């Protein structure tokens, strides 16, 4: 069975798209693990009082909704990228715009996450903040912070 150039290009593009989606999914899984690590650190290591715990639970509930909305937006942008790749079969103007939109959605998610981290920090005492800051820095740099 012989394959034409268009079929080969379509296969390559599908492989690239699958790789991008896989890389994104792995990144989301890893980021989720780090987020849970910070969550556990705050609850388990910082000796929160009842008022702090209640405020933190509310922050986390609100952020879970915002994060889900941003993740759905990112998925929609990835779907647009897939459609643009399928339409153009090259790095054309639609693909370029779709990539920019994916990056913007990823940036929105990261910005919301950083805002959430600072909102969590605002609930802490000065002593707790010092520990929290070290943990956040260690999480972002890949060092062990605990």
User: Taking a C-beta distance cutoff of 8 angstroms, is the pair 109, 101 a contact?
Assistant: no
- CATH 1.20.120.1490 correct for 5-141: yes
Q: How far is CA 64 from the centre of its chain?
A: 12
pLDDT score, position 140: 84
Query: What is the value of pTM for the model shown?
Result: 0.71
24-37 pLDDT, tens digit per residue, is 554 544 444 445 67
User: Taking a C-beta distance cutoff of 8 angstroms, is the pair 102, 134 a contact?
Assistant: no
Whether the pLDDT of residue 100 is over 90: the answer is yes
Least confident of 13-22, 58-67, 76-85, 98-107: 13-22
pLDDT score, position 53: 94
Whether the pLDDT of residue 57 is over 70: the answer is yes
Comparison of pLDDT for 65 and 27, the residue scoring more: 65
* pLDDT confidence band for 39 (50 / 70 / 90): confident
Per domain, the residue ranges of the chain are: 5-141
Comparison of pLDDT for 29 and 110, the residue scoring more: 110
* pLDDT confidence band for 49 (50 / 70 / 90): very high
* Alpha helices (H) in the chain, listed in sequence order: 5-45, 50-88, 93-122, 126-141
Mean pLDDT calculated for residue range 63-72: 95
b/e code 66-78 from CB counts within 10 Å (16+ = b): ebeebeebbeebb
Comparison of pLDDT for 102 and 14, the residue scoring more: 102
Whether the pLDDT of residue 99 is over 60: the answer is yes
Mean of per-residue pLDDT scores for the chain: 82
| 13-16 contact pairs (CB < 8 A, 24+) | 13/85, 13/86, 13/89, 16/85
Give the HSE-up count for residue 130: Cα atoms under 13 Å, Cβ half-sphere. Answer: 2
Mean pLDDT calculated for residue range 92-119: 94
């Amino acid at each position: 069975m012989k394959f034409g150039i268009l079929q080969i290009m379509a296969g390559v593009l599908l492989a690239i798209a699958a790789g991008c989606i896989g890389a994104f999914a792995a990144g989301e899984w890893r980021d989720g693990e780090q987020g849970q690590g910070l969550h556990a650190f705050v609850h388990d290591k910082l000796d929160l009082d009842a008022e702090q715990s209640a405020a933190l639970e509310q922050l986390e509930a609100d952020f879970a909704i915002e994060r889900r909305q941003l993740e759905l937006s990112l998925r929609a942008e990835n779907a647009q990228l897939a459609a643009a790749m399928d339409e153009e079969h090259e790095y054309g103007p639609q693909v370029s715009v779709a990539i920019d939109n994916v990056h913007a959605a990823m940036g929105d998610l990261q910005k919301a996450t950083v805002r959430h981290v600072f909102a969590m920090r605002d609930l802490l005492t000065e002593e707790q903040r010092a520990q929290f800051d070290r943990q956040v820095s260690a999480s972002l740099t890949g060092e062990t912070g605990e």
